[in-house]
Structure 1
Amino acid sequence: MSDKTEEAGWATAKTLAEALPFIQRYDREIVVIKYGGHAMGEEAVARLFAADAVLLKLLGVHPVVVHGGGPQISAMLDRAGVKSTFIDGLRVTDEATMEVAEMVLSGAINKEIANWITIAGREADVRGVGLSGKDARLLTVTKARRTTRDPGSQMEQVVDLGFVGEPKKVDPMLIQALIHAEQDYVPVIAPIGVSEAGQTFNVNADTVAGAVAGALKAKRMLLLTDVKGVLDKNGNLIRQLTVAEAFDAIKTGVATGGMIPKLETAIAAVDAGVEAVVILDGRRPHAMLVELFTEHGAGTLIRA
């Protein structure tokens, strides 16, 4: 054994010892992870994510994954020659678009993530289980309603987004049964919901993750995205925000674009009983482990 190899071994042991207080903090706690379309990256990134999810399970954490897939839906719609329209960041979803969205989200992406987790956890028999909000009435939704202001008359108009839904109720029984089963399961949830009348709707994945985390009273919700967190006006990472400071960041323009709905989701999740929400860069290897098991974390933490 070389000196360098021996030093690496001691460094690894030191890291594990330093992580012990954090491992104990999350023992048997639920962590909801929103795995974003842009954060998914390529196969190598997906495999790393799956391995980290397995490690969380083996360390006594109960990870619950909610995934997006906007870029993948757009790619499939482009191949099918279907043009997408967005209003306030939400895709206007007609019947043809809804068909494609469900096929991509509940089919290809959902089963692929669950499969990567099963492959990563093969030796320890940790298994990914792919679900959508339609399974066991996990996610009941209502039709989303938005208004926009006419630039000429300045009058507000109701916009029909089609088959776009908003969470009305999350029934956590199926998820709880899976995470507390004797077998080590990791639930993987596609953001597809169903109305009381049985109609299928596409739902924003951030919103679903927040609703699921609130229903499960999760210890943490991790919003994995393609930026390192909320940045101040100088481009520096803001490590922590209270709910009041998060509101202020939106109001003063510190948070812009896609960060606004992420902060709104974080605020809603904390209000629903989640201890804290973290927005972090899911493209960085082991970002979840750094966030949960080190002192300084890896992104912006929002708490009450």
Structure 2
Amino acid sequence: MIGKSPCEELTPEQKVTIFLEALPYVQKFRDSIFVIKYGGAAMEDPFLVEQTLRDVVLLEAVGINPLIIHGGGESINKAMKKRGLNPQFVNGIRITNKELISLIQEVLSLEIGPFITQKIIEYGGKAVFVPGQEVFQATKWEALSDQGIPIDYGYVGSIVNVELQPLLKLLHNQFIAVVSPLAKAHNGDIYNVNADIAASKMAGFIKAKKLIYLSNTNGILEDEKDPFSRISVINKERISILKQKGVIHGGMIPKVDSALEALEAGVEKVHFLDGRMPHALLLEIFTDKGIGTEIVL
């Protein structure tokens, strides 16, 4: 026998009380734009997919404008494996050659983006998939190692502009925009963009009220082996210290760097949430309890 969900065990009076407690937050955030970086376990597990995307639909239903930047790292890795290709990362960024950019575009634009969009529609929302290269403009990303040596990431882009009008029109008409992390250069080349960085750039250009990263960890941890060592609030200085200690490393580096960049661009709040936690979005937005890590300058 399948047990009842916590919500089903509540009395009608308790359900009404919960909704009333959320009312001040609904009023505060009405008409605001929230950029949500959606990836990791929340996008791989069917149960979490349903819960997360239903939560996104609810956000739109109460007057918030969600804009999703989706990832796809695991799906890309699986597609590469089928072709006998091995993923290569430097500082959490995928090395991308010409063969791989075609594969990435196929996975993101023909599989993941349309899938997320269709699920939102199934759950009662209105959604449109927007291939990233239609709104993100980029140049080839130029990066240096810690030793000052140039790193050639291949077809990886640095976003320099976002075409906002098509997105704002969708949001104004109560559509949830689902955008892939791809960008186009002036010469027509398509670039791969780290989804965390794409979300940060989008949030900065569109002046989002909140930027929310759904990740596979309970925010930023003081000790990655201890899930209870979550840091509730972390600033730029402490992030730098944790990088030097190796606590923040790999794929977490572009996350925290992009979070700080978003704040510097005028985004009001940036949160790292555990996408594996049921209803993490709603708990963070509509309650006083902090369930993830807030990034501040």
Task: Check whether TM > 0.5.
Answer: yes
Q: State the distance in 2 between where 1:300 and 1:263 align.
A: 11
Q: CA 1:78–1:296 in 2, change beyond 3 Å: closer, same or farther? A: same
What is the TM-score with the length of structure 1 in the denominator?
Answer: 0.89
1:131: which partner in 2?
130
Residue of structure 2 in register with 1:52 after alignment: 55
1:214 partner letter: G
Aligned to 1:175, which of 167, 175, 179?
167
Residues 41 and 283, structure 1, Cα contact 8 Å, conserved in 2: no
Q: Find the counterpart in structure 1 of residue 155 from structure 2.
A: 163
1:211 maps to 2:201: yes
> Shift in Å at residue 7 of structure 1?
5.1
Percent sequence identity is 34
> Using the alignment, how far apart are the partners of 1:104 and 1:213 within structure 2?
24
Cα distance between partner residues in 2 of 1:145 and 1:242: 26
Read off the aligned partner of 2:234 and give its amino acid letter: L
The amino acid of 2:130's aligned partner reads L
Would the aligned equivalents of 2:92 and 2:252 in 1 still touch at CA under 8 Å? no
Distance 1:88 1:257, change over 3 A: closer
Question: Which one has a larger percent strand, Structure 1 or Structure 2?
Answer: 1
Identify the match of residue 75 of structure 1 among 58, 74, 78.
78
Residue among 123, 137, 143 paired with 1:146:
143
Provide the C-alpha distance between the structure 2 equivalents of 1:5 and 1:193, rounded to a whole number of angstroms.
44
1:100-127 Cα offsets, whole Å, 9 max, x none, are 1000011100000000001101xxxx31
SS of 2:289's equivalent in the other structure is coil
Greater Cα radius of gyration, structure 1 or 2: 1
The Cα shift of 1:39 comes to: 3.0
C-alpha distance in structure 1 between counterparts of 2:244 and 2:69, whole Å: 28
> Is 2:99 the partner of 1:107?
no
Q: State the partner residue of 1:9.
A: 12
**Aligned residues of 1:217 and 1:274 also touching (Cα < 8 A):** yes
Letter in 1 for 2:217: V
CA deviation map 1:60-91 (0-9, x unaligned): 10000000001100100111122222222222
Please report the TM-score for the alignment, with normalisation by the length of structure 2: 0.91
Question: Cα gap change, 1:24/1:257 in structure 2, threshold over 3 Å: closer, same or farther?
Answer: same
- Output the CA distance in 2 between the equivalents of 1:208 and 1:7: 40
- Kindly indicate whether residue 86 of structure 2 is the aligned counterpart of residue 87 of structure 1: no
Q: Give 1:63's match in structure 2, choosing from 62, 66, 74.
A: 66
Query: Which residue pairs with 1:300 in the alignment?
Result: 293
1:297 CA displacement: 2.8
Q: Is the 8 A contact 2:93 2:251 kept in 1?
A: no
Show the counterpart of 1:271.
264
| Aligned alpha-carbon RMSD (Å) | 2.0
Q: In 2 relative to 1, CA 86–241 (structure 1 residues): closer, same or farther, beyond 3 Å?
A: closer
Q: Partner letter of residue 75 of structure 2?
A: Q
Cα distance in 2 between the residues matched to 1:148 and 1:242: 23
Deviation at 1:244, TM superposition (A): 4.1
Give, in whole Å, the separation in 2 of the partners of 1:119 and 1:17: 27
CA contact (8 A) 1:106 1:192 kept: no
Unaligned runs of 5+ in 1: 150-154
Structure 2 residues without counterparts, runs of 5 or longer:
1-6
| Residues paired across the two proteins, number | 288
